[in-house]
Structure 1
Amino acid sequence: MTPPRDAPASRRVRANGDGTVYQRKDGRWEAAGYVLAPGNTRKRVRVYGTTRKEALTKLTEKIATSNRGLPVPSAQGSLAAYLTYWLENVAVHHLRENTHTRYTACVDRYLVPGLGKKKLAKLSAKDVRTWLNQLRITCQCCTRGIDAGRDEARCCAVRACCSKRLSPLTLTYIHSVLKSALEHAVREEEIPRNVARNVRTGAPRPRRFEPLTATEARQFLTAAQGHRLHTLFELALHTGLRKGELLGLRWEDLDLDASTAAIRRTLQRTNAGGLTTLPTKTRASERRIALPARCVQSLKLHHEQQQREREVAGTTWQHNGHVFTTAQGRRIDPTNLTRTFTTLLRKAGLRRIRFHDLRHSTATLVLEQGVELIVIKELLGHAPIGVTATVYAHVRLRLQHDAIDLLGRALDHP
């Protein structure tokens, strides 16, 4: 009996459920197999590669994902179905909880109503551009039914449209969420290209902020003198720490002898976990900063004050190691800190600003003293220096004027 010849590489026998792999006439390799699809069904998917190994690796990854119970989206399905899959199975593992919440609100409020019925595979750049142009001129008060939900209509229901339109910044954000979702669809080979990348929304103007001047900063600190959180506000103005970074500080993060602080975490309120300690915003945000002598002294006094509060609270004290707490040792809610900050602004007779503007005030005042951008970048915890340069471009322009004026005086009066 003649033994059977070895099967060619493109026709090798594979185990049941492993799919098939073969070489096409155009020279590429194609692998196909069944995976879990939305609706608890199964579908056959095909992937391609320049080599047998590449095609087989791609198929194996899809089958492994399917075996973990994650459905593979179908390009024949609607964009709404894909966005739901992306939020629930992809984005949730790569985004911070608050960011995922904002993405979900953006998808539910804008993307699904506007483009949700479009087929993922048939979505075009023209569709995205037309939808964005329409969104740019649409009154949100009318579209989202805000006026209809009021006790007394005062907009479209009485034919007096308030023309409440989305800002360019919001439009750019919505566009970026769509681009992120479609980018993942490209990586999963559901679609050949990201059509949202071919649509330009224009660069929105950066959000304007009004940092405190040196005089206003001194005025604010004077008003905060005597408040139990005076040290927090002093630290915010001297170091530019974010609100969450300040509230997430622990005594173990401070080295008062060396006058340094290690920024390792941030405190935020999330929908699922309430007040939660999270890693810093970015890797660059995890840093060690120098503390001025004034803040070191204030922190020592604050520690003594906290010890007295602990003695008064007795058994009700909730020890968590945080530097800034309530009088009972609990962590401070960021919203309550904002209310305290607004009250102190009124007491100081200053205009209302955001708490985050204290950070901008620090950077602006330091930059005006001639400190280099790279030092400010490290202090603030910005990842690329371009962020620092862009945000504080107005200060650099003023410094250029000062430099030119100095040069002019030197040339006029040798």
Structure 2
Amino acid sequence: MGKDLRGREMGEGIMQRKDGRYSARFTSRRGRRVEKCFDTVADARKWYMRNKLQDEQEGEKSIEYTMTVDQWFHYWLKTFKSNLSPNTIRNYTDRYYSDVKNAIGDMLLVDVKAMHCQQILNNMEPYYAKSTIYQTYICIGSMFKSALKNDLITRHPLDGVDFKCNKMKKPIRFLDLEEQNIFLAYADKNSNAKAFRLVLQTGLRTGELVGLTWDNFDRVKRTLTVDKTMEYRYESGGLESRPA
């Protein structure tokens, strides 16, 4: 991470020189140092992102005309969203793979129009809750907004999409004693009855419940420690454990 003259972090590949100008540099795939200076930090970051990305994609043509939506999604998630919480990254990934990838993943980034995004949302309406469709809308909007800011596209495709989502927060309601007894009566007929009872007593999330191991239980102190959770990873195609 480079720094400016006041010692503040400038981000990967960017630093401020003693003369006040900003230097952007990276090492290419062939091991060659590539560097250029700019008067503003914004120009330096834009140059760094475009040229480093082009080098990684091994494209000989301008990156705008060679990058697919799928390639951009993975680069965008890794480069611009890596500091988000695992749950947020999982939500982006889930929505992309479930609803976006098959529709426009193989398209060139510059070829995606409003009608393609509109069709994705329209196809979801019969099967998904409004809140889930909204999450897909946010995923598409965020990744294309980043592409627009970095001059990879000239117009945001969602600008022409007709979509409204008035999110209404539902008040949190807890099960009363009678409802809990009804729940347990049905739960006891299931092979997972003990797991259901544990969830009811502790409020564990599904991932936290599945991630429990015997070392989480202290029989002497009669305590339960939740220190990990299980999540589905598209990269590996299976469940993986991460710290809670």
Correspondence 1:224-235 to 2 at 5 A: 224-225=187-188, 229-235=192-198
Secondary structure of 1:86 counterpart: helix
Q: How many angstroms apart in 2 are the aligned matches of 1:187 and 1:174?
A: 20
From 77, 86, 90, give the equivalent of 2:65. Answer: 77
Q: How many Å apart are 1:173 and its aligned residue?
A: 2.5
Equivalence for 2:3: none
Contact 2:49 2:150 in 1 (8 A): no
Instruction: Give the percent of matched residue pairs that are identical in Structure 1 and Structure 2.
Output: 19
Kindly tell me: are residues 170 and 268 of structure 1, through their superposed partners in 2, closer, same or farther at Cα, counting changes over 3 Å? closer
Kindly tell me: are residues 249 and 49 of structure 1, through their superposed partners in 2, closer, same or farther at Cα, counting changes over 3 Å? farther
Q: Which has the higher strand share?
A: 2
Q: TM-score, normalization: structure 2? A: 0.56
From 250, 253, 264, give the equivalent of 2:213. Answer: 250
Q: How many Å apart are 1:245 and its aligned residue?
A: 0.7
Secondary structure of 1:279 counterpart: strand
How many residues of Structure 1 are paired with residues of Structure 2 in the alignment?
211
From 91, 98, 120, give the equivalent of 2:77. Answer: 91
Contact 2:92 2:139 in 1 (8 A): no
Q: How many Å apart are 1:47 and its aligned residue?
A: 8.9
Q: Which amino acid aligns with 1:107?
A: V
Equivalence for 2:110: 119
From 190, 201, 215, give the equivalent of 1:238. Answer: 201
Q: Which amino acid aligns with 2:166?
A: A
Instruction: Extract unaligned runs of 5+ from structure 2.
Output: 1-20, 30-35
Q: How many angstroms apart in 2 are the aligned matches of 1:112 and 1:270?
A: 19
Cα displacement string for residues 305-364 of structure 1 (whole angstroms, at most 9, x for unaligned residues): xxxxxxxxxxxxxxxxxxxxxxxxxxxxxxxxxxxxxxxxxxxxxxxxxxxxxxxxxxxx
Cα displacement string for residues 142-198 of structure 1 (whole angstroms, at most 9, x for unaligned residues): xxxxxxxxxxxxxxxxxxxxx947653343223212122123325645358867489
Larger radius of gyration: 1
Cα displacement string for residues 237-274 of structure 1 (whole angstroms, at most 9, x for unaligned residues): 01211112111112222345445433222234555546
Q: Which amino acid aligns with 2:110?
A: K
Correspondence 1:314-325 to 2 at 5 A: none
Contact 1:248 1:277 in 2 (8 A): no
Kindly tell me: are residues 74 and 240 of structure 1, through their superposed partners in 2, closer, same or farther at Cα, counting changes over 3 Å? farther
Kindly tell me: are residues 227 and 197 of structure 1, through their superposed partners in 2, closer, same or farther at Cα, counting changes over 3 Å? same
Contact 1:265 1:277 in 2 (8 A): no
1:105 aligns with 2:67: no
Correspondence 1:251-330 to 2 at 5 A: 251-270=214-233, 273=236, 275-279=238-242, 286=244
Instruction: Extract unaligned runs of 5+ from structure 1.
Output: 1-27, 37-45, 142-162, 281-285, 287-414
Kindly tell me: are residues 229 and 258 of structure 1, through their superposed partners in 2, closer, same or farther at Cα, counting changes over 3 Å? same
Secondary structure of 1:215 counterpart: helix
Q: How many Å apart are 1:276 and its aligned residue?
A: 2.5
Q: How many angstroms apart in 1 are the aligned matches of 2:186 and 2:127?
A: 39
Kindly tell me: are residues 107 and 92 of structure 1, through their superposed partners in 2, closer, same or farther at Cα, counting changes over 3 Å? farther
Q: TM-score, normalization: structure 1? A: 0.37
Secondary structure of 1:119 counterpart: helix
Kindly tell me: are residues 77 and 49 of structure 1, through their superposed partners in 2, closer, same or farther at Cα, counting changes over 3 Å? farther
Q: Which has the higher helix share?
A: 1
